[in-house]
């Protein structure tokens, strides 16, 4: 991994990510925890301008415990001398760590969401958070 511009030349993206005190993902059964972990990792990697082709490998170092066997098999399933795209990693991660019932519940929550007496700010924030679970709508103006 390369060092970030403007930082000590021997600091890798992995070291910089560790300096953000990222917690490791160790368990498999908690969909909400896994979703929050993934979103935090994306925020950190984006903020430090880590090249997209290094995201999956960098994140892989923070997958430990019971979750580590999933990462090892996922990582080994790609062709030799190739890198995993973030889109492929994210799709596999969501498929494995976010249970179908969790995703269905979030989609249903999105479909049933009503403004009611929420402020515009709260409505917008909740709408965007829930819309992520309904791919066909999220980017549709």
3-state secondary structure at position 87: helix
pLDDT of residue 82: 79
The token duo for 60 is 């892989």
pLDDT digits (tens, 9 = 90+) for 27-49: 788 889 999 999 999 988 888 88
**51 with 31, same domain?**
yes
Instruction: Tell me the C-alpha distance between 86 and 5, whole Å.
Output: 22
- Asked if 87 and 141 sit in the same domain, the reply is no
Name the pLDDT band for 90 (thresholds 50, 70, 90). Answer: very high
% of the chain beyond a pLDDT of 70: 77
Per-chain mean pLDDT for the chain: 80
Question: What whole-number distance in Å separates Cα of residue 57 and Cα of residue 89?
Answer: 10
**Same domain flag for 114 and 94:** no
Q: Full-prediction pTM beyond 0.85?
A: no
Same-domain status, 2 and 69: yes
In the 8-state DSSP scheme, what is residue 97? H
User: In which domain, by residue range, is 23 found?
Assistant: 1-98
- Does residue 1 register a pLDDT over 50? no
Query: Residues 18, 63: contact at Cβ < 8 Å?
Result: no
Radius of gyration of the chain (CA): 17
């Amino acid at each position: 991994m390369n060092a970030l511009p403007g930082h000590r030349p021997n600091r890798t993206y992995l070291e910089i990510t560790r300096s953000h005190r990222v917690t490791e993902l160790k368990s498999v059964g908690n969909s909400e925890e896994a979703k929050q972990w993934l979103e935090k990792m994306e925020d950190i990697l984006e903020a430090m301008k880590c090249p997209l082709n290094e995201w999956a490998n960098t994140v892989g170092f923070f997958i430990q415990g019971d979750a580590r066997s999933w990462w090892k098999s996922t990582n080994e399933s790609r062709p030799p001398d190739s890198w995993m795209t973030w889109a492929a990693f994210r799709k596999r991660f969501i498929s494995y760590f976010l249970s179908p019932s969790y995703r269905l519940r979030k989609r249903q929550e999105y479909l049933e969401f009503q403004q009611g007496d929420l402020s515009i700010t709260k409505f917008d924030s909740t709408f965007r958070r829930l819309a992520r679970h309904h791919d066909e709508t999220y980017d549709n103006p």
